[in-house]
Structure 1
């Protein structure tokens, strides 16, 4: 029987070309990552959730009308803010503790 295609030679050629293609793709990917790292570009997405506007009630601080002072921000919990209370700067830490009115607690760090 006469064969136009040498089957073992064809299979080995296909396997060899697949290995070379995979090695080339892996090399290009590695070089691309090194170039991005050298430029300072992040290779992974940040793990931070999208920020939302939150309203905070500043504990031990009232406005001129006697209503508790509030502060709106997109900063994450644990951040420290500075607000003027009775004409003096006072630091507050933003927490994730909710209040009944729908705001969150901002605890004072400085006591006057």
Structure 2
């Protein structure tokens, strides 16, 4: 009986330490998940209450005066078709929810010049 009572404090402290580690790990994952979602917050075209958010799109297969792809800012939701002038001619693009490496979203060309 003495063996059981001598081992009980060590067992309880080990269980408590494992619980604290599990809680800290879960909190860390939850915080990093919410930070990632906040960083990608612009990827949500409209919030649940119906307000729109400003998003920046990279118009694929275009080049601006500085040699970088043209970019377009709008609050329109994904799936919307916009018209943008490329080399003086109108070209249609569909806004997508595909994130690019530079933090913008892809706007797919519908008309090929």
Secondary structure at the residue paired with 1:90? strand
Correspondence for 1:99: 100
Q: 2: distance between equivalents of 1:67 and 1:95? A: 20
Which one has a larger percent helix, Structure 1 or Structure 2?
A: 2
TM-score of the two chains, using structure 1 as the length reference? 0.56
Write out aligned runs for 1:61-100 (5 A).
Answer: 61-100=62-101
Q: 2: distance between equivalents of 1:48 and 1:93? A: 24
Tell me the alpha carbon deviations over residues 31-73 of structure 1, each in whole angstroms, 9 at most, x when there is no partner: xxxxxxxxxxxxxxxx773210000000001111211100000
Q: Point out the structure with max Rg over C-alpha.
A: 1
Tell me the alpha carbon deviations over residues 62-92 of structure 1, each in whole angstroms, 9 at most, x when there is no partner: 1112111000000000000000001110000
Which one has a larger percent strand, Structure 1 or Structure 2?
A: 1
Count of matched residue positions in the alignment of Structure 1 and Structure 2: 66
Instruction: Give 4+ residue runs of structure 1 displaced > 6 Å after superposition.
Output: none
